[in-house]
Structure 1
Amino acid sequence: MPALHEPKLMSGNANKSLAAAVSRRMSMHRGVNVGLVDARVERFNDGEIFVEVFENVRGEDMFILQSTSNPANDNLMELLIMADALRRSSARRITAVIPYFGYARQDRRTKARTPISAKLVANMIVGAGIERVLTMDLHAAQIQGFFDIPVDNLYASPIFALDIEHQFQGKLQDVVVVSPDVGGVARARELAKRIGCALAIVDKRREKPGEVAEMTVIGNVEGKTCIIVDDICDTAGTLCKAADLLIREGATEVHSYITHGVLSGPAVERVTNSSMKSLVITDTIEATESVRNAQNIRIVPTAPIFAQAILNIWNGTSVSSLFETETLHPIYEGTYATL
């Protein structure tokens, strides 16, 4: 049964530009203003987070947009405290829209006496009163099972497929999609299937954690345009080494499509000075000034798909329909003329 009220969107401080873009998109689709809820999310002098909502939210369907990116702990606490404020204000339902889900890389015990932090974060989110989670490209899909509430995990690959078809129009026969490690083969295969291209894999072996000792290419990349696809780019060390290896193996040029551009430490400098012709990321994490100014880094928008997913959740209609490229074409209509 359709909801009687308009969906209401609230934003933390993690990614205000994406929240504003989602709000504009939702307003366009609804034909009425879907503005951000008037609230303040501030810090006391000792770092404590304080939230105050200035609008009536009783009985409303609330969506909190907040990536738990750097600073991960502050942004996570903002999300939890915003949810608590809404719950105590009698919101009908609270959905956390977490474009980038921090702590997702700690999804299992890799050594003795280590935590499974992703499960702990899931418990905290549920305990705060959040009843549904909407995110994109979880580092490990099984994290959905850490929650006892519905989790909708959107995929960036349909967006990337649209962008690749636009950027490499007439050249797709020379494109090879590359997974930077064995663990990402499923993601790379899915994108390769969407655009009808071949698949290759970079097999890496480590002598010590964080140090790649040896890398080899599985598949033919000679004379090809290689597109590396992955979910997270942090310090970009492995990504740049993989690009160098592909060039040595005969690739004519290398591009990378990464969902979450964490890009910490020397990452931007490494990418700028690397053999990669371009690095394409989404705006799930708000770009720093250095990222925006980098000549070979480009950002594709996720606001259209998040806005539609929020409206589908609010309407009680399918979110999985957004996994299909055909569904995204009208949502992203006109976008790729300007990319």
Structure 2
Amino acid sequence: MKIISCTNNRDLSKEIAKKLNKKLVDTKIIRFADGEVYVEINENMRGQDVFVIQSTCTPVNDSIMELLICIDALRRASAKSITAVLPYFAYARQDRKVSPRSPISAKLFANLLMVSGTSRVLTMDLHANQIQGFFDIPVDNLFAAPIFVQHIKKNIKSKNLVCVAPDVGGVERARAIAKRLSADLAIIDKRRSGPGTSEVMNVIGDVRNKICVIIDDLVDSGGTIVNAAAALKSKGAKDVYAYVVHGVLTGEAVKKINTSKIKKFIISNSIMNTKKIKKSAKFQTISVGTLFAEAIKRISISKSVSKLFK
């Protein structure tokens, strides 16, 4: 088994390799003056099971191209198998046509991975589970839920706990964590009373005097989760915490969250946000390195990955 890291989120790659007692493969990745990427593998890959780690977050398209070129280099170097390890899967929100002449970019990304020579994909908390069906190769979709549950039990010791889905699309994810915690479930229902009117947040469920934990897979601009927290507080919630798998955190997201009703904002390190959040006491990062290391180990020895979540 060989572990290769591309340039995005190398800290997580190093952590995964360390937990597997492996050294990262000596790889040369450079960018030419015109922006083109060049990859050179400086070790023998013939007959090896190779895991290429790359979080396809900002800069998204550069990260994807770098990953594809690395996979192509490995295929031409006669690697036995190539697993693309994507802690964050780009374009997952573009999983369907939203207008008559719009693309399905998540499917295009899947095609590019397969054509480049990928044998398997290992990722975490896909925004849309149906993306697994875009591939003709195995896809292992890990879940951060067990890590979140463990952290909540350790740090939020309250019997009045409510898990909250920030929208109807996140109900399944919030319900799964609520079940593990034996907690109640609440849902934020966003709706407009009429054309041109502002969006109203309706809270479905009893949150008065409760500790609310918002569960979401991804936060981008931060607007939805900040408004959800405000709605919960307006309904009498005692405290509001947020647990988010992928902290995309674009634009003014960090500033919005810092001035919001959220008491603590917990994200995974699927995306490297150290510089963005280092001055904020409200943010906390928990690692998914152990989860990915164990999944890689199980794949390499043909053991069940799903048992990680039972």
State the TM bucket, normalised to the shorter chain.
over 0.9
Q: Which of the residues 200, 207, 217 maps onto 1:221?
A: 207
Does structure 2 retain, via aligned residues, the 8 Å contact 1:185–1:201? yes
Report the equivalent of 2:181.
195
Q: Is the aligned partner of 1:146 residue 2:140?
A: no
Q: How far did residue 288 of structure 1 move?
A: 3.8
Report the equivalent of 2:69.
81
Q: How far did residue 223 of structure 1 move?
A: 0.2
Report the equivalent of 1:23.
17
Q: How many residues are aligned here?
A: 308
Report the equivalent of 1:57.
45
Look up the equivalent residue of 1:133 and give its one-letter code.
V
Look up the equivalent residue of 2:10 and give its one-letter code.
K
Does structure 2 retain, via aligned residues, the 8 Å contact 1:83–1:130? yes
Q: Is the aligned partner of 1:122 residue 2:110?
A: yes
Alignment of 1:281-296 (within 5 A): 281-296=267-282
Does structure 2 retain, via aligned residues, the 8 Å contact 1:67–1:100? yes
Q: Which of the residues 149, 163, 166 maps onto 2:154?
A: 166
Q: Which of the residues 155, 158, 168 maps onto 1:182?
A: 168
Q: 1:158 to 1:286 in 2, by over 3 A?
A: same
3-state SS, counterpart of residue 293 of structure 1: coil
Does structure 2 retain, via aligned residues, the 8 Å contact 1:212–1:238? no
Report the equivalent of 2:34.
46
Look up the equivalent residue of 1:273 and give its one-letter code.
T
- Distance in 2, matches of 1:256 and 1:8, equals 36
Listed one character per residue, the Cα deviations across residues 145-197 of structure 1 (whole Å, up to 9, x for unaligned) are: 0000000000011110000010123x1x1110000001110110001001110
Q: CA RMSD in A?
A: 1.2
Look up the equivalent residue of 1:94 and give its one-letter code.
I
Alignment of 1:303-318 (within 5 A): 303-318=289-304
- Distance in 2, matches of 1:45 and 1:305, equals 37
Listed one character per residue, the Cα deviations across residues 282-304 of structure 1 (whole Å, up to 9, x for unaligned) are: 00011141223211010010000
Q: 1:73 to 1:212 in 2, by over 3 A?
A: farther
Look up the equivalent residue of 2:209 and give its one-letter code.
G
Does structure 2 retain, via aligned residues, the 8 Å contact 1:94–1:131? yes
Q: How far did residue 110 of structure 1 move?
A: 1.4
3-state SS, counterpart of residue 47 of structure 1: coil
- Distance in 1, matches of 2:260 and 2:154, equals 24
- Distance in 2, matches of 1:309 and 1:251, equals 37
- Distance in 2, matches of 1:101 and 1:316, equals 23
Does structure 2 retain, via aligned residues, the 8 Å contact 1:268–1:291? yes
Look up the equivalent residue of 1:10 and give its one-letter code.
I
Q: How far did residue 277 of structure 1 move?
A: 0.3
Does structure 2 retain, via aligned residues, the 8 Å contact 1:204–1:212? no
Report the equivalent of 1:71.
59
Listed one character per residue, the Cα deviations across residues 209-240 of structure 1 (whole Å, up to 9, x for unaligned) are: xx961110000000000000010000101111
Report the equivalent of 1:236.
222
Q: Is the aligned partner of 1:8 residue 2:2?
A: yes
Gaps of 5+ in 1: 1-6, 28-33, 325-339
Look up the equivalent residue of 1:187 and give its one-letter code.
R
Q: Is the aligned partner of 1:105 residue 2:93?
A: yes
- Distance in 1, matches of 2:198 and 2:100, equals 23
Report the equivalent of 1:330.
none
